[in-house]
Amino acid sequence: MNILIVHCHPEPRSFNAALTDIAMASLTQEGHEVHVSDLYAEGFDPVERASHFNSRADPEYFSALTEQRHHVQSDTLPSDVQREIDRLRQADLVILQFPLWWHAQPAMLKGWFDRVFVYGGLYSGTYRYDRGPLKGKRAICSVTTGAPASTFSPGGRSGDIATLMWPILCSLYYVGFDVLPPHITYGVQGGGLSYQDELAFHDHLEQAKHQWETRLRHWQTEKAIPFTGWQDWDEQGQTVDAHPLRWRT
Ligand SMILES: Cc1cc2nc3c(=O)[nH]c(=O)nc-3n(C[C@H](O)[C@H](O)[C@H](O)COP(=O)(O)O)c2cc1C
């Protein structure tokens, strides 16, 4: 199988980088072909703006959606965006590896969504959610946090992890992915701050690496998050079902 890791961390010796290395090594060993989009190392520009687009559909007024669709149709998307789309289209599994920054993904990764998930290419009014163009592919977020697990419970001081993850999981589903429950490694403090003594902290991280490697063995058979789909919605886009994020532990 073809696997793409979208790696979003500025430091090659970070814990995030270690998790990407582990994923690469174990998936390669299992016979998969693994590619990495290393957003910082490749200097990806995460800011959507007019100057990315040549031969504009509308030179007077910049609409990102209009230009994205126009440049999909004329096959003239910015080369860095086209490269990422090609990688996504080839992949059977996409892993997003990132730290939680300000209760969300880092701006670099948010901008990757803004620029790469192009209107008219990776979704349209008709082709989205369970009819999205990337249907049949799987995606999983591997996220590290500084704060410990208990603080991410509903009502906890770090915020409910299911709520924090909702925008990114829903965005992946929007373009058609089967989204696996996220793999969250809690309590990874960069910068020397730790909630435990040094030895216990080291053990915690070693255990976390092992857990990620173990989790990855089951990516082809794991059950995806049961999002609602077109069958479940009325004309106003409402569903009678409750919030579908049932992966919370
Ligand atoms: C700008 C910034 C914002 C952060 N925001 C949060 C946060 O909202 N919640 C949290 O638990 N940790 C937060 N952290 C801590 C990081 O999640 C933590 O340092 C990281 O997961 C550790 O992995 P690393 O060593 O690979 O960077 C933040 C760190 C930075 C630099």
- Structural domain boundaries, residue 128: 2-232
Residue whose CA is closest, atom 31 of ligand 1? Answer: 101
- Give the predicted TM-score (pTM) of the model: 0.95
Question: Quick check: CB of 146 below 6 Å from ligand 1?
Answer: yes
Average pLDDT, stretch 132-149? 97
CATH of the domain at 73: 3.40.50.360
Phi, psi of 65 (to 5 degrees): -65, -45
Question: Quick check: CB of 193 below 6 Å from ligand 1?
Answer: no
In this model, does residue 238 exceed pLDDT 70? yes
Provide the pLDDT for residue 236. 87
The alpha carbon of 130 and the centre of ligand 1 are apart by a number of angstroms equal to 32
Provide the pLDDT for residue 249. 45
Examine residue 55 and state whether it is found in any structural domain, yes or no: yes
Average pLDDT, the chain: 94
Average pLDDT, stretch 132-140? 98
In this model, does residue 191 exceed pLDDT 90? no
User: Distance between CA atoms of 164 and 169, rounded to whole angstroms?
Assistant: 10
- Lowest pLDDT segment from 58-62, 102-106, 241-245: 241-245
Examine residue 89 and state whether it is found in any structural domain, yes or no: yes
Concatenated DSSP letters of 93-149: EEEEEEE-BTTB--HHHHHHHHHHS-BTTTB-SSS-GGG-TTTT-EEEEEEE-SS-G
Residue whose CA is closest, atom 1 of ligand 1? Answer: 101
Examine residue 249 and state whether it is found in any structural domain, yes or no: no
Total tally of structural domains belonging to the chain: 1
Element (H, E) at 5: strand 2-7
Percentage, residues of the chain above pLDDT 90 = 86
Average pLDDT, stretch 70-90? 98
Examine residue 27 and state whether it is found in any structural domain, yes or no: yes
Examine residue 237 and state whether it is found in any structural domain, yes or no: no
pLDDT interval class at 165 (50, 70, 90): very high
Average pLDDT, stretch 149-178? 97
Examine residue 247 and state whether it is found in any structural domain, yes or no: no
The alpha carbon of 103 and the centre of ligand 1 are apart by a number of angstroms equal to 9
Examine residue 167 and state whether it is found in any structural domain, yes or no: yes
Examine residue 87 and state whether it is found in any structural domain, yes or no: yes
